[in-house]
């Protein structure tokens, strides 16, 4: 039986991990009162998640596909309709094209 060196495995995976979307978590911005909001292109993106029932997730996926939008853009568009400041840049598909 060959014993694997886990340090070398972790080192070889670290270069790949930086290219994965889940590894691009920007730090949460500090809240400053009376400050002007940063332009969308310079403001860091932070991760936010919430739970859905499995059937709701499938329905969201279907609705966003029917609208020819990503689920992220579909949700942001719905939030925009309810008063959230959303720019066209926020609605862009951020997935890498192969």
- State pTM to two decimals: 0.53
Residue 1 is assigned to a structural domain of this protein: no
Instruction: Compute the C-alpha angle 51/60/73, nearest 5°.
Output: 95
Confidence band of 88 (pLDDT split at 50, 70, 90): confident
> pLDDT per residue over 24-36, tens digit each?
444 445 455 554 5
Query: Does the pLDDT at position 78 exceed 80?
Result: yes
Q: How far apart are CA 98 and CA 88, in angstroms?
A: 23
Task: Give the number of other CB atoms < 10 A from CB of residue 6.
Answer: 8
Residue 23 is assigned to a structural domain of this protein: yes
> pLDDT per residue over 62-71, tens digit each?
999 999 989 9
Residue 62 is assigned to a structural domain of this protein: yes
Q: Give the range of the structural domain holding residue 63, as residue numbers without chain letter.
A: 6-91
Residue 97 is assigned to a structural domain of this protein: no
Residue 12 is assigned to a structural domain of this protein: yes
Query: Does the pLDDT at position 23 exceed 80?
Result: no
Domains contained in the chain, number: 1
Residue 98 is assigned to a structural domain of this protein: no
Residue 68 is assigned to a structural domain of this protein: yes
């Amino acid at each position: 039986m060959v014993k694997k060196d886990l340090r070398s495995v972790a080192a070889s995976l670290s270069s790949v991990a930086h290219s994965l979307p889940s590894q691009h978590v920007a730090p949460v911005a500090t809240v400053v009162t009376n400050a002007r909001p940063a332009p969308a292109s310079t403001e860091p993106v932070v991760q936010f998640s919430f739970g859905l029932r499995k059937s709701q997730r499938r329905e969201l996926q279907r609705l966003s596909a029917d609208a020819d939008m990503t689920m992220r853009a579909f949700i942001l568009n719905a939030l925009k309709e309810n008063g959230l400041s959303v720019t066209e840049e926020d609605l862009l598909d951020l997935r890498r094209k192969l």
